[in-house]
Amino acid sequence: MDKPIPTLSGEVALIEALAWEFGPPPPDVILGIGDDCAALALNRGRYLLWTLDTLTEGVHFDLSYMSLAQLGWKALAVNVSDIAAMGGEPRYALLSLGWPPARNWAGALEVAAGLKQAAREFGVAVIGGDTISSPSGVVITLTVAGWVPAKEMVRRSGARTGDLIYVTGVLGEAAAGLEILRNRVELAPALTQPLFQAHLAPRPQHRAGRLLARRGLATAMIDLSDGVATDLFHICRASRVGARLEARRVPVSPLVQAAAPWFHRDPLDLALKGGEDYQLLFTSPPEKQAALFRAFTRAGLPLPLLLGEITAGDRVQLVTERGEEDISGAGFDHFRLNSPANYLSS
């Protein structure tokens, strides 16, 4: 295997270069670098899912409009979303909290309070951690572990040509909320509050993820952290397939439709490239559609929304009235955010 040359978007390229550096994992590692979680065969019949995510002040959040309790909630939520994307049940978490010396230490307890609220909601026990001084801003890392029955685990790599592509909820709200907060757009609270909530306190779809896994209804799954265009491309690359999305079917949130003109953004663009929706994007064979809708109805969960299908190609194509557009990987890239030059592609 030749060493890959980083020409993709930053994060993908760097992770692939690191995976190359570390080489293949030992046999008890079922999944290493390249999915939402690592998976370990520690226990007969089930896998331990394990993930790690960092949120950095000035990159991922801004404490001028996010409360410390919301930060604690979100730090756990984004990790729980990774466990959900494999069909797993989150169970345990460790916290590393970097705290600026100039900031009142009591705020660390506000972070803990929000984290505790999320932990109770998602059934997670926070069982350890580390507190450190951070020179420039608050940095919070959580690592979460959980379980999935071995036969139920859903990878990114199982999508097959002809599978339908679904998402567990409407898109674009978190990105729209962020735009409004950043640009201090003045809009009616009835419109902005749910959008702010979507960005500040996202709700991972762990119940939907478990349901899909338990019933064997998803062939591939990922959580939407970077936006459909990037995250669906991850599924395509892992599954060696392509995808066709129909613009008119993309479930853009009605709130985003209403708000986007006020800050001059295309609602479809926010829905496909905005990132941080933390909905689950999954593929499922067409013959399972009736079973899928029945399962979600019985579980009292909102029905999944269909937005396209898996093709024999290797790109993510968006079909609009003007023709087809390649949107592969055109999503939110953590390395691009807040940095005008994408140093990874230079």
Q: DSSP state, 61?
A: B
What is the CB neighbour count within 10 angstroms for residue 274? 28
Of the candidates 222, 219, 211, which has an alpha carbon nearest to the alpha carbon of residue 301?
211
CB 167, CB 251: distance < 8 Å: yes
CA 43 vs. chain centroid, Å, equals 27
Stretch that binds its own copies, among 24-32, 180-188, 246-254, 312-320 (CB under 8 A): 24-32
Asked if 192 is part of the footprint of its own copies (rule: CB under 8 A), the reply reads no
Q: How many chain residues are in contact with its own copies, going by CB under 8 A?
A: 74
Q: Residue 192 CB, nearest distance to its own copies (Å)?
A: 27
Q: Mark the segment that binds its own copies (CB under 8 A) among 35-43, 260-268, 275-283, 291-299.
A: 35-43
Pairing of strands 220-223, 280-284: antiparallel
Question: Taking CB under 8 A as the rule, does residue 96 contact its own copies?
Answer: yes
Count, in order, helices (H) and strands (E) of the chain: 10, 13
Told to check if 101 binds its own copies by CB under 8 A, we report: yes
Q: Which residue has the tokens 């892992």?
A: 238
- 119 lines the binding site for its own copies (CB under 8 A): yes
**259 is a contact residue toward its own copies (CB under 8 A):** no
226 belongs to the binding site for its own copies (CB under 8 A)? no
Give 108 or 291: the residue with its C-beta nearer to its own copies. 108
Q: Which is nearer to its own copies, 103 or 160 (CB)?
A: 103
- Is 76 a residue that touches its own copies (CB under 8 A)? no
What is the spatial distance between Cα 282 and Cα 310, in angstroms, rounded to a whole number?
A: 11
CA pair distance 139, 133, nearest whole angstrom? 9
Note whether 25 binds its own copies by CB under 8 A.
yes
Shortest distance, position 113 Cβ to its own copies, whole Å: 7
Q: Does residue 253 bind its own copies (CB under 8 A)? A: no
Q: Of residues 129-148, which lie at the interface with its own copies (CB under 8 A)? A: 129-137, 139, 141, 143, 145
Beta bridge partners of residue 246, listed in sequence order? 319
Contacts (CB under 8 A) with its own copies, residues 293-312 = none
- The answer to whether 182 contacts its own copies (rule: CB under 8 A) is no
Q: Contact between 154 and its own copies (CB under 8 A)?
A: no
Residue among 55, 95, 90 nearest 71 (CA): 55
Q: What are phi and psi of 204, to 5 degrees?
A: -65, 150
* Phi, psi dihedrals of residue 53, rounded to the nearest 5°: -145, 140
Tell which one of 8, 40, 318, 330 touches its own copies (CB under 8 A).
Answer: 40
